[in-house]
Structure 1
Amino acid sequence: MQLPFKNRVEAGRLLADALKPYAGRTDVLILALPRGGLPVAFEVAQVLAAPLDLMLVRKLGVPGQEELAMGAIASGGITYLNQDLAESLRISDSAIDGVASREKKELERREQAYRGHRPIPEVRNRCVILIDDGLATGATMRAAVLALRQRQPGRIVIGVPVAPADTVENLRAEADEVICLATPEPFLAIGKWYEDFSQTSDEEVRDLLTRAWQQRKQE
C-alpha cells in the first residue's frame, strides 16, 4: 500500500477493493462517519452497489487539548468515555458533562442538516459496514459500534484506509471484522497520510448523500 493517499476519493476506491467480498449482497448497508468518512464511503458504496447512509458520532475532546479524544457520543444517546484517560488527566465530571452537552447540540444540528426528515435506516440483522477516513484513538468508531449494537445488526464491519496498529487490534474486540489498508508507524496523525486532507464541508456531505439516495431510487 503506497502512502500517502492522494485524497479521500482515492482512499475510498482502494478500500472498496478490499471490501469486494461484500459486493452485491442485499443485506449490506454502508454507514459513513461524517464528515470526512463520507467521500470515502461514497466510493465504497458505488463499487459494492450498496445503500449509503450516516452514522453520526461526535468526539469528546479533552478540555484544552481538543484533538485528544477522551470519548465520543453517537445518535441514540450512546456515550463512550475512556475512563482511564479521564482519570489520569484529572478531568472533572462537570467538565466532561460540559463537553458532552456541547457536542450533543452539534450532533443534533448535523442530524437535521444532513438527514432532514429522512428516516434512520433499519439495521436489524443487516451487515453494516462503518467507514471513516482514518482512525487515531478509535474512540469515535467505538461509540459508533456501541450505538449500532443496540440496534441488533447481523454483523458489524469497520473499514478505514489508515490507523495505528494498536487501535485496529483494540477494535477487533468490538466489531466482527476490521479492514484497514495501512497501519504506519509512527502514526502521528491521520492527515499525515493524505496529500489532500482538506476539510469536508456540510455541502459536500449533503451532495454526496443526495447523489447516493437518488441512485438507489433509480435502481
Structure 2
Amino acid sequence: MFRNRSEAGRKLAEKLSLYKGQGDVVVLALPRGGVPVGYEIATYLGVPMDVLVARKLGAPGQPELGIGAIAPGGIRVLDDRLIRLLGVSKEYIEKVSQEEAQELQRRTQEYRDGRPDIPLEGKTVIIVDDGLATGVTARAAVESVRRRNPKKIILAIPVCASQAIPFMRSLVDELVCLLTPSELGAVGLWYSDFRQISDEEVKRLIESTQEQAQSKGEM
C-alpha cells in the first residue's frame, strides 16, 4: 500500500532513473489522479510534464465500470467482451462517447490554459496514471500517443491488476509497475490517502514542472 500518490510517484521515479536528465523525455499524466504521480517522476527526472486527457466510457448505470475509452486524436477503444456481456446498445455507446468527448475537450483546454501541446515526435514518452484495473483508458492513451510518432512509449503505474499486465506490456515499449495484485478491487484500496485531486492542483503541478524544464532548457 502507498501512503499517497506522491509516495507512489517517488517510488516509480526511482525505477525510471535511467532517464534522468535526458533531454528527449516527456511525462504525460492522466488527470486527475495520475498528475501527482507524474509530477514526482517529472521532477525527479528533470523533464517536462503535460496532461493526456483520456475519458472512460462508463457502463449504463455503472459509470465506474469502463466499457471503453476515448483519447485525443479521435481515438476510441471498446471492450467488446464486456459490451456483449452487458448487452450495451450501439446507441448508448455513441451517446456516452459524444458526452465524454465534450468533457475531454473542456478539461484539455482548462488544464492547458492556452499552452500548446509538447511535441512528442522522436521523444521518449512516459505515460503515468495512479492505477489500472481493466486498462481500457490507458490503452486509449497509448494509441493516442503512438499517432504522434514518439521514439519510445513507457507506461508507468504504481498498481495494476495482474491479469492486465501481459496485454498492457504488449502495447508499449516498456512497462513499469510496482504492485500487481491478483485481486485488485478498486485502485483506491491501495492508497491510505486517495483524496480527489482538484483542477486547480492539476494546473499548478503542470505549470511547476514546465517552469522547471524551461529553466533547464528542456522545452
1:131-210 to 2 correspondences below 5 Å = 131-210=128-207
Give the TM-score of the pair, scaled to structure 2.
Answer: 0.96
Unaligned runs of 5+ in 1: none
Candidates 207, 213, 216, aligned match of 1:216: 213
Greater alpha carbon shift after TM alignment, 138-147 vs 179-188:
179-188
Matched to 2:159, the amino acid is V
Superposed CA offset, 1:150-203 (max 9, x none) = 111111000000011111211011111110001123211100000000111101
Identity %: 47
Is 1:20 aligned to residue 17 of structure 2?
Answer: yes
> C-alpha separation between the residues in 1 aligned to 2:119 and 2:88?
37
1:104 paired residue number: 101
Candidates 30, 33, 36, aligned match of 1:33: 30
1:79 shift after superposition: 0.6
3-state DSSP of counterpart to 2:56: strand
**Contact 2:47–2:209, Cα closer than 8 Å, also in 1:** no
3-state DSSP of counterpart to 2:171: coil
Is 1:10 aligned to residue 7 of structure 2?
Answer: yes
1:44 paired residue number: 41
Unaligned runs of 5+ in 2: none
Superposed CA offset, 1:84-129 (max 9, x none) = 2112211110000111111111101101110022111111111100
- Give the paired residue count: 216
C-alpha RMSD over aligned residues = 0.9
1:76 shift after superposition: 1.3
Is 1:67 aligned to residue 64 of structure 2?
Answer: yes
